[in-house]
Structure 1
Amino acid sequence: MADHNELGKEGEEVASNYLAKHGFQIIDRNWRYNKKELDIIAFDNDNLVVIEVKTRTSDGWEHPKEAITNSKIRFIVEATEAYVIEKDINNEVRFDVVTVMPVDGEWKVEHIKEAFHPTL
């Protein structure tokens, strides 16, 4: 597996642990719909939260959250619609982003609630 894949996997693990520590109930990870993937799906109280995780070694080129393009948002929303239908979920849906970067031997985690809203 390529180094960037290993980093991404490790970042998702860090993000999951962070979210669980902050009261999120993780219900799914790396859920796939066609070629689209939802990184983390969780409940935060009564909200279904779809979390996109972005892991980078640094923010030298761009902050990890800037890597979430409009087409990525469309993919996430489309996969979320499929997930909600398949799992028969009727809760409100929120889209968060968690960025993860190693800083001085530790993980820096930033959680952005309501990072984006689906556009019609």
Structure 2
Amino acid sequence: MATHNDLGQKGEAMAKAHMEATGYEIMDENWVFGKAEIDLIAYKAGVIIFTEVKTRTGNAFGEPEDFVDARKQRLLVEAADEYIYLMNHQGEVRFDIISILFDRNNNHTLKHIEDAFWPSAY
């Protein structure tokens, strides 16, 4: 497996542990619809949270969260729409990003950005 895939899986495991430790219930991981994959789908206080995890080993080209561009957001929203339909969820939804940045010494910074973007569909 490629190193970047290992890094991504490590980041997703860290993000899941962070969410569980802060009171979120993880409903699904790596949920796929069409061309989109939602890394983590969580539930807390009546809200479904669709979470994109971005893990990087440097920020020379931008912060990890900067890589959730408009195209990626559209794909996430399409997948979220299908998930909401399948779950018959009538409550609120939210789109979060968890950004994990590693330095050269393998230390990391985890940033949980709630309401990272708000699609016009909602």
**TM tier, smaller:** over 0.9
SS of alignment partner, residue 89 of structure 1: coil
- Give the CA deviation at 1:74: 0.4
Aligned to 2:120: 119
**Counterpart Cα distance in 2 of 1:107 and 1:88:** 37
Residue 7 of structure 1 and its aligned partner are, at CA, apart by 0.5
* Matched letter for residue 102 of structure 1: F
Q: Secondary structure at the match of 1:61?
A: coil
Q: Distance in 2 between matches of 1:87 and 1:106?
A: 38
SS at match of 1:31: strand
State the one-letter code of the partner of 1:115.
Answer: A
TM-score (norm 2): 0.93
Unaligned runs of 5+ in 1: none
**Hey, what does 1:90 align to over in structure 2?**
90
In structure 2, distance between residues paired with 1:40 and 1:71 = 18
Give the Å deviation of 1:31.
0.3
Aligned to 1:105: 106
Would you say how many aligned residue pairs link Structure 1 and Structure 2? 120
Distance 1:88 1:72 in 2: 24
Partner of 2:74: 74
Secondary structure at 1:32's aligned position in 2? strand
RMSD: 1.1
Instruction: Compute the displacement of 1:44 (Å).
Output: 1.9
* CA drift at 1:106: 3.1
Query: Contact conserved, 2:31 with 2:38, CA < 8 A, in 1?
Result: yes
Provide, for residues 54-84 of structure 1, a one-character-per-residue CA deviation record: whole Å limited to 9, x for no partner: 0001112110111011111100000000011
Distance 1:35 1:74 in 2: 11
Matched, 1:52 2:55: no
Percent identity (aligned): 35
Per mean C-alpha deviation after superposition, the further-off stretch among 80-89 and 103-112 is 103-112
Does the aligned pair in 1 maintain the 2:35–2:75 contact within 8 Å?
no
